[in-house]
Amino acid sequence: MLVCRRLLLIAAAIAASIEAGSTSYHPGISSSDYSGYPSGYAVYSGATSPESSPSSSSSTSGPTELGASNTESLCRPSEFRCSTTGHCVAQDKYCDGENDCDDKSDEPRYCTPCNRTLYGDVGRTYRVEIRRPREDRLPFLCHLNFTAAGSDLGDLVQLTFDTFTVGRFLSFTSEGCPDGFMTIREEGRPATGGQWCGSAWGYTVYYSETPSINLTLYLLRLSEQGIGYNFDFKLSYKFLRRSEAHLRYGNSSMSTWRGELVNGTYCDRVLTKCDTRACRLQSPNYPGVYPRNVTCYYRVEQNRAPVGHRALLAVSQRNSHKIHIKDQVVKYDRSQRVLRVWDQCNVVQDYLTVYDGGSTSDRVLVRLCGGDAVPDIISSHNTMLLEFHTSPYDNPFHPVPLSFLPGFELEVQVIFVDEKSRSFVKENDNCDFYISGDENSSGILENPKHSLPPNTTCRYHFQGKLNEIVWLSFVKYYAASVEAAASIDTAADCNAKLLIWDGDITVDKLTFSRKNVTLMGQFCKDDIPRLCDHSLLRNSSRHTRPCSLAESYVSTGRDLTLEHILRQGSALYPISFVLRYEFVHEAISCNHVFASVPSASSTSSTSSLSSSSSSSSSSSSLSSNAGKFASPKNVFFYGRGGAQNLSCVYRFEADPDHRIELSFVRASFGGKSCASYVDPLVNRWTCDRRMADVKKFGMADLVVAEYPWQGVELVRDCLCSNVSERIVVRTLTSNVVEVRFIITLMNVTQDYRDFFFEGEYRFVPVGAESNEHGCSTRLEERRLRGTSGEISLRSPLPRVIPGLAAVEEILTNTEDLTATQCVNEPWLIEPEDARINFLYLRTAGYGITLDNVEECTTLNRIVVYSAANTKERSVICPEGGVDTARTVDFFSGGWNYSAVNASVAMAQHSRSFVVEFLQREPGFYAVTWIAISKRSPTAPNVGANAFAILPTEDCPYKCPEIQACISSVLWCDGVRHCPSGFDEEEANCSYRFGVTLLYVAVGAGALGIFLILLLATGCLKYCLYRHKARKKKKNVALNVNHLHVNHTHHNNGLTGSRLSGRYNLATPQEMYLENYGKDSIC
């Protein structure tokens, strides 16, 4: 019987609800709009049925309705007119349990606040309470319509649930409200079917999207237990002007645009032209609770972009209080608020999904829920789709604390990037970037500007040219940490893994190749690569030091690969890096050796540490023994690569019968303060700079030097100012030449584009171009050593002389071909014993400089160098012969040192001289030299201090004018070796000869007596022999041997015609004679 009775009540309630819906609701809301409760359930209008309440008609006609014909009423639509007094009271006073009208017309019997349309004035708050129905009146159904009629009656509706307990809440997704629920439907929007039930917690507010909303309460059953009180409903409502909804629509200074609503949908929107207006993506009914059982699609488009650029779309929310999507049931305050993602959103099924494109078939960038700040989520295209999904069932809630708002608001930005840049992943490129040295030699690479989907691997392939390596320096690197609970793959070690490979990783659809690659670094979680972060301080006015190798990665070959593996993607856990890359010319050293080879199968140019320059072919071909050489292009050799100084040596080694010709095509020296010019004294390039500038700003130059003898360097030419026209250096007399490229004190911005040179070389046979005979002596034959000597050279007449007779005259008058053909060749003069001997060198003429060069009447020059440091030179203007009045004297290094400095170790050739004759016109000139010492060479303890000056008796053979001891073989030998001729004075030589004659007389007398005795003895022996011979009749033969001793006078040098006649030398070509010693009786 009870079941039958309930069925009758349900039928009556449906009929009453239809009648009430046709008379009580806003005219704009049709009864067909109420489909928010389940079909098949009975509804209850809130009034008693005719069967049970005889006064039911009065309960439905009590309040004054908008649109009713009542010409006597003066009340506003938001007021109720008392029946007797005609007073107007607020509409929410009707049936509130208090007698607001004196006649109790606002509290009729069996009245109910349900099934009414409620209005209100802006700025005033109204309240409605629905009392718990009796159990025999179930199921219970109540409709409330809230309409903002515009102007003073408002544009939007705000509902605040002060008390909410409607049935029980069991699930977010399936049959979550079995006992009862509340639904809210917006005017003109399709029904969602979403339901709220259970008990609300927090400050729950609902803001309408339209001027009119319908709220429906449905209660099927009450709790069966006495203590289970499951219905309590009180709400406050007010009406707002649209201009007051700042959080939703912005303010007068900056209005926000929420997009165009798609017709026929509840919340789908399209946003365009967000580069010119402030676009906002908001959850439905923001900033209040969002509806249930809705799926909203937000499509953001940017169809226009500057020429050559591409539009990327970004959504973000820096303010964490403006986003809260429910992720779990929480009825207490959270100590930490985090943004939950992926599977963490499966509990409530409220989530926001971001697609990298305009459809749901595109890759998902992120799915998020919870409440916290949202970083930039950037699409790789000019379209982006966001999907907001809510579960069908929920209980009204508000996030804690109250300053946080339910739902979400995201800001939209448009980013324009260069179409040709590597700031985005092009379609179907699978996040592979190729950086080639053919495009740019250096640059800056950043991570993609857009977000990357989960399980993405980006590879950056760096490929240089041949003979190039790759130099990478990370300026900054950041990888956001990921909570383990938020990870898609909980087994993964980390979200972002960076791998640096020395080599190329080839990946395609079919193969994955890692051939000949080496892992240079692997970084995960808190590990970061080497950083050169100080370069962030660099700007247009400040230059920082370059990145060192300890702060960089340098490949061993032309390929290097960065591999970035992102498990979670980069949407919510940004990965950002900035790195500088450069393709560097591969060169371990800038020291090279270029050598000529005798065979055609060999290579004529070899490098000790690099193969940057080469030339090949047989040495017999002039064109083959040539090549190019240049400064290094390896940036690590320069200031920008971390070096402050640079010294490169290019060594050229020709055959002994070849010489070297160098040409410099162009050169730059970084603006260093220096000037190159041709020195008129020696007709060679020289560098002019101030030492103060060298100490402060450094130096840069090209120095050409040759090495005629081991350990002896002859600096020939120096270039330090920019070269734009070819400079040829042909005056190289040695077959070993070095070119030194030296730079000091480079700044951090200078490299091979500031300091460079380009040159060419040739190995030229001696006399091949001039058709003249070269010097017939080798360099080792022009290395002189002994007690004394003289170099006497006669310059021939100019080569261009008409007629053969003149040539014959030259050959006739030239006694020594070496003297005429070995001009312009260096000579090395060494002391006889470098431990105790020094050199005293003398030549006719006087020293000249740039100041008095005009006083010299000849173009010929004699250049004297210290062999240990050929930068120290003296240029002599010769005056014809050795008998001229003016002479120049030289002492070898260390002669003027005191005994205190004697213990200092001597450098090789520190006491030697290099003499060079520069012939430009016919002439005769000579240089004489003797070995001197500060003590007698024959004194004991030769190994003692050689610099100590001993008493006079320890130096019997000396030149007093120069305070030097000379060898005894030079004393009274008929040649004046001392400048004053002291060694050949009669007083010194007569004493020497007198003593000798006395010894000869004594010896001759003794010899005579000895011969007489010998003769007598011989006669006696002969007589005895004859006597015996007659007896034995034998013949005996006697052979006598004669010993011939050659005694040679020693001059130990090269003599000209004058000396050769004196000492009967065969020819002057005997330039070096060994010293056999000379007997002395002094």
Q: Give 3-state DSSP helix, strand, coil % of the chain, rounded to 5.
A: 15, 35, 50
Angle (CA) 841-846-849 rounded to 5° is 115
Beta-bridge partner residues of 924: 794
**Is residue 245 within 8 Å of 156, Cβ to Cβ?**
yes
Order of strands, sheet of 575-585, starting from the edge strand that comes earlier in the sequence? 442-446, 575-585, 468-479, 553-554
Nearest to 115 by CA among 12, 214, 222: 214
Superfamily of 783-796+818-894+908-933 according to CATH: Spermadhesin, CUB domain (2.60.120.290)
Percent of the chain residues past pLDDT 90, beyond the cut = 31
**How far from each other are the two terminal CA atoms of the chain, in whole angstroms?**
166
**Assigned token pair, 105:** 């017309």
What CA–CA distance (Å, rounded) separates 785 from 828?
A: 9
Query: What is the predicted pLDDT for the residue at 224?
Result: 63
pTM, full prediction: 0.69
Q: Residues 891-907: pLDDT tens digits?
A: 888 787 644 444 445 67
**Is residue 301 within 8 Å of 383, Cβ to Cβ?**
yes
Beta-bridge partner residues of 897: none
In three-state secondary structure terms, 221 is coil
Q: Report strand pairing: 658-669 vs 518-524.
A: unpaired
How many other β-carbons are positioned within 10 Å of the β-carbon of residue 1029? 12
Query: What is the predicted pLDDT for the residue at 806?
Result: 32
Considering the chain, what is the average pLDDT of its residues?
77
In three-state secondary structure terms, 1050 is coil
Residue 815 per-residue DSSP state = S
Higher local confidence (pLDDT), 806 or 446: 446
- Residue corresponding to tokens 């779990």: 328
Higher local confidence (pLDDT), 486 or 249: 249
pLDDT exceeds 90 at position 819: no
The stretch 286-307 carries a mean pLDDT of 94
pLDDT exceeds 80 at position 1060: no
Higher local confidence (pLDDT), 591 or 822: 591
Q: Residues 492-549: pLDDT tens digits?
A: 567 889 999 999 987 654 455 666 789 999 998 888 899 988 877 776 677 788 888 8
CATH architecture for segment(s) 591-597+623-765: Sandwich (2.60)
Q: Residues 821-838: pLDDT tens digits?
A: 566 788 899 888 877 888
What CA–CA distance (Å, rounded) separates 854 from 875?
A: 13
Residue 191 per-residue DSSP state = -
Q: Ranked by mean pLDDT, which of 267-281, 881-895, 921-935 comes out on top?
A: 267-281
Nearest to 773 by CA among 712, 814, 828, 727: 814
Order of strands, sheet of 838-844, starting from the edge strand that comes earlier in the sequence? 788-795, 923-932, 838-844, 887-891
**Is residue 89 within 8 Å of 74, Cβ to Cβ?**
no
481 burial via Cβ count (<10 Å: 0-12, 13-18, 19+): exposed
Query: What is the predicted pLDDT for the residue at 997?
Result: 57
Query: What is the predicted pLDDT for the residue at 533?
Result: 83
Order of strands, sheet of 913-918, starting from the edge strand that comes earlier in the sequence? 783-786, 826-831, 913-918, 861-866, 869-877, 846-847
The stretch 276-303 carries a mean pLDDT of 94
Superfamily of 112-244 according to CATH: Spermadhesin, CUB domain (2.60.120.290)
Q: How many CA atoms are closer than 13 Å to the CA of 724, on its beta-carbon side?
A: 0
Angle (CA) 35-36-42 rounded to 5° is 75
Query: What is the predicted pLDDT for the residue at 625?
Result: 79
What CA–CA distance (Å, rounded) separates 959 from 968?
A: 12
Class of domain 250-420: mainly beta
Residue 1020 per-residue DSSP state = H
The stretch 59-72 carries a mean pLDDT of 41
**Is residue 207 within 8 Å of 197, Cβ to Cβ?**
no
pLDDT exceeds 90 at position 1027: no
What CA–CA distance (Å, rounded) separates 929 from 787?
A: 8
- At 485, the pLDDT band (50, 70, 90 cuts) reads low
What CA–CA distance (Å, rounded) separates 312 from 317?
A: 17
pLDDT exceeds 60 at position 620: no
Query: What is the predicted pLDDT for the residue at 597?
Result: 65
What CA–CA distance (Å, rounded) separates 805 from 129?
A: 142
Compute φ and ψ for 875, nearest 5 degrees. Answer: -105, 125
The stretch 988-1005 carries a mean pLDDT of 66
The stretch 959-970 carries a mean pLDDT of 87
- At 21, the pLDDT band (50, 70, 90 cuts) reads very low
The stretch 905-934 carries a mean pLDDT of 83
Nearest to 967 by CA among 1063, 768, 831: 831
Query: What is the predicted pLDDT for the residue at 571?
Result: 85
**Assigned token pair, 534:** 């100080």
- Residue corresponding to tokens 């107007």: 88
Residue 505 per-residue DSSP state = -
Q: Residues 462-484: pLDDT tens digits?
A: 999 998 999 999 999 988 876 65
Q: Is 440 left (phi over 0), alpha (psi -120 to 50) or beta?
A: beta
Compute φ and ψ for 695, nearest 5 degrees. Answer: -70, -30
pLDDT exceeds 50 at position 423: yes
- At 884, the pLDDT band (50, 70, 90 cuts) reads low
Nearest to 355 by CA among 331, 389, 326: 389
Q: Residues 925-943: pLDDT tens digits?
A: 888 989 888 865 444 444 4
Higher local confidence (pLDDT), 117 or 779: 117
What CA–CA distance (Å, rounded) separates 1025 from 1030?
A: 9
Q: Residues 40-64: pLDDT tens digits?
A: 333 333 333 333 333 333 333 344 4
- At 329, the pLDDT band (50, 70, 90 cuts) reads low
The stretch 723-747 carries a mean pLDDT of 90
Task: Give the least confident one: 149-158, 862-871, 881-890.
Answer: 881-890
- At 703, the pLDDT band (50, 70, 90 cuts) reads very high
pLDDT exceeds 60 at position 17: no
**Is residue 398 within 8 Å of 202, Cβ to Cβ?**
yes
The stretch 238-247 carries a mean pLDDT of 92
What CA–CA distance (Å, rounded) separates 772 from 824?
A: 14
What CA–CA distance (Å, rounded) separates 414 from 378?
A: 9
**Positions of CATH 2.60.120.290 in the chain:** 112-244, 250-420, 591-597+623-765, 783-796+818-894+908-933
How many helices (H) and strands (E) in the chain? 8, 59
Q: Residues 76-94: pLDDT tens digits?
A: 898 888 888 788 999 888 9
What CA–CA distance (Å, rounded) separates 315 from 109?
A: 56
Higher local confidence (pLDDT), 203 or 140: 140
Q: Residues 802-812: pLDDT tens digits?
A: 433 333 333 33
DSSP per-residue string spanning 883-899: TSS-EEEEE-TTTT--G
The stretch 428-441 carries a mean pLDDT of 86
How many other β-carbons are positioned within 10 Å of the β-carbon of residue 138? 20
835 vs 838, 839, 912, 966, CA distance in Å?
Answer: 9, 12, 12, 15
In three-state secondary structure terms, 244 is helix
Query: What is the predicted pLDDT for the residue at 814?
Result: 33
**Assigned token pair, 723:** 């070269």
**Is residue 215 within 8 Å of 175, Cβ to Cβ?**
no
Query: What is the predicted pLDDT for the residue at 114?
Result: 92
In three-state secondary structure terms, 161 is strand
Beta-bridge partner residues of 146: 118, 213
The stretch 409-433 carries a mean pLDDT of 87
pLDDT exceeds 90 at position 619: no
Any alpha helices (H) in 570-690, and if so which ranges?
A: none
748 vs 308, 454, 580, 635, CA distance in Å?
Answer: 35, 41, 15, 11
The stretch 702-709 carries a mean pLDDT of 92
Query: What is the predicted pLDDT for the residue at 955?
Result: 80
> Residue 993: CB partners within 8 Å, gap ≥ 6?
none
Beta-bridge partner residues of 677: 686
Residue 916 per-residue DSSP state = E
Query: What is the predicted pLDDT for the residue at 575?
Result: 87
| Strand (E) or helix (H) holding 410 | strand 407-418
1078 burial via Cβ count (<10 Å: 0-12, 13-18, 19+): middle
In three-state secondary structure terms, 486 is helix
DSSP per-residue string spanning 444-467: EEE--SS---SSEEEEEEEE--TT
Query: What is the predicted pLDDT for the residue at 20?
Result: 40
